[in-house]
Amino acid sequence: MDNAFADRLRKKSFLLPEAYGNEFAKRVFQRKDILFALAVLLFFIGLALFAPLISPYDPNAIDLKNKNLNPSEEHLLGTDYLGRDLLSRVLIGARTSLSIASGVVLISLFLGTAAGCAAGYYGGIVDESVSRVIDIFLSFPGVIFALTIMGVLGSGVFNLMLALSIVHWAKFARMMRGQVLSIKKQEFVLSAITGGAGDFYIIRKHIVPNAIATLLVLATIDFGHVILSISTLSFLGIGLPADVPEWGAMLSAGKEFMRTAPCQTIFPGLAITLVVVIFSILGDGMRDILDPNHEGGEIY
């Protein structure tokens, strides 16, 4: 492969493993912004886990007498077009988004790491073919790809996870391939190879541990993207069945009543934004540690 497009795709992921393992963890816990984002994330996860206990109402209880209400003391965020309590629905929606996104990121991470390892480690024809497949998957806008797959599979939690994983694995594979190529050149890998260690042993003991920090950063950044994709597909009515409470779907249903009851549009969107912002702060902070920016001088 020697065209500039593909090269750029790969170079983009080429972070040298400068800080790994303990050193990386130590520096992560020294940064206030990361710690703050982690605390907020844990809070969100807590809310999602204990949603049924915290929610003031049953998120699916229909109450047509109290539909499209604005925030009040009984309903802190108001109610939707079927009179369901919006706060309870937003809380339970966190479960949907976070759990599906975790699934997608884990599957993509696993698939991508495996493919990237194979391509980077074995090189030759394996690398050629895997890289070619990665290029094709990356030359297609992700949302549209997922949309097409969902069109075939039909809506559903499992199908959504599958579709998004098919879209997202390629990023991990590209990153992992770059990592493997750079780690493979390091002395300790060369000496392990000379020492007669098996391929699987080298990948498990040397390559994966050294790439883990970079993969973690990508996974964190990607987590936010996956949450955005989930809500986009649900918003289009292609993602999840109607009875699963999800922020994008809530927005989609609520937008019809935007003129009179804008809360149904505002709050679910705010929830999505906040969660994605948290993952952006986490991901950016960790990436800064791996790949610190150069200092800029002042101009006068």
| 25 in contact with other proteins (CB under 8 A) | no
85: which strand partners? 79
Q: What is the CA angle 52-55-57, rounded to 5?
A: 105
Which of these segments, 42-50, 84-92, 189-197, 224-232, binds other proteins (CB under 8 A)? 224-232
- List the interface residues with other proteins, window 229-258 (CB under 8 A): 231-232, 235-238, 248, 251, 255, 258
Which of these segments, 40-48, 98-106, 116-124, 141-149, binds other proteins (CB under 8 A)? 141-149
Of positions 38, 54, 76, 143, contacts other proteins by CB under 8 A: 143
Q: How many CA atoms lie within 13 A of 36 on its CB side?
A: 7
Backbone angles phi, psi at 60, to 5 degrees: -110, 5
- Identify the three-state secondary structure at position 79: strand
Which of left, alpha, beta for 273 (phi over 0: left; psi -120 to 50: alpha)? Answer: alpha
Q: Is the dihedral of CA 262, 263, 269, 270 positive or negative?
A: positive
Of positions 239, 245, 269, 285, contacts other proteins by CB under 8 A: 269
| 281 in contact with other proteins (CB under 8 A) | yes
| 149 in contact with other proteins (CB under 8 A) | yes
Q: Which is nearer to other proteins, 27 or 255 (CB)?
A: 255
- Identify the three-state secondary structure at position 18: coil
Of positions 276, 282, 286, 289, contacts other proteins by CB under 8 A: 276
Min dist. Cβ of residue 203 to other proteins (A): 28
Min dist. Cβ of residue 110 to other proteins (A): 22
Min dist. Cβ of residue 191 to other proteins (A): 30
| 148 in contact with other proteins (CB under 8 A) | yes
Of positions 85, 101, 265, 286, contacts other proteins by CB under 8 A: 265
Q: What is the 3-state secondary structure (H, E, C) of 60-83?
A: CCCCHHHCCCCCCCCCCCCECCCC
Min dist. Cβ of residue 201 to other proteins (A): 35
Report which DSSP code applies to 85.
Answer: B
User: Could you tell me if 275 and 97 are in contact, meaning their C-beta atoms sit under 8 angstroms apart?
Assistant: yes
Q: Which is nearer to other proteins, 57 or 257 (CB)?
A: 257
- Identify the three-state secondary structure at position 100: helix
| 273 in contact with other proteins (CB under 8 A) | yes
Of positions 125, 152, 185, 196, contacts other proteins by CB under 8 A: 152
| 141 in contact with other proteins (CB under 8 A) | yes
154: which strand partners? none
Min dist. Cβ of residue 208 to other proteins (A): 27
- List the interface residues with other proteins, window 118-137 (CB under 8 A): 135-136
User: Could you tell me if 184 and 203 are in contact, meaning their C-beta atoms sit under 8 angstroms apart?
Assistant: no
The Cα–Cα gap between 153 and 285 comes to 37
Residue pointed to by tokens 């906040």: 274
Q: How many helices (H) and strands (E) does the chain have?
A: 13, 0
Binding site for other proteins (CB under 8 A): 2-6, 8, 12, 135-136, 139-144, 147-152, 224, 228, 231-232, 235-238, 248, 251, 255, 258-259, 262, 265-266, 269, 272-273, 276-277, 279-281, 293-300
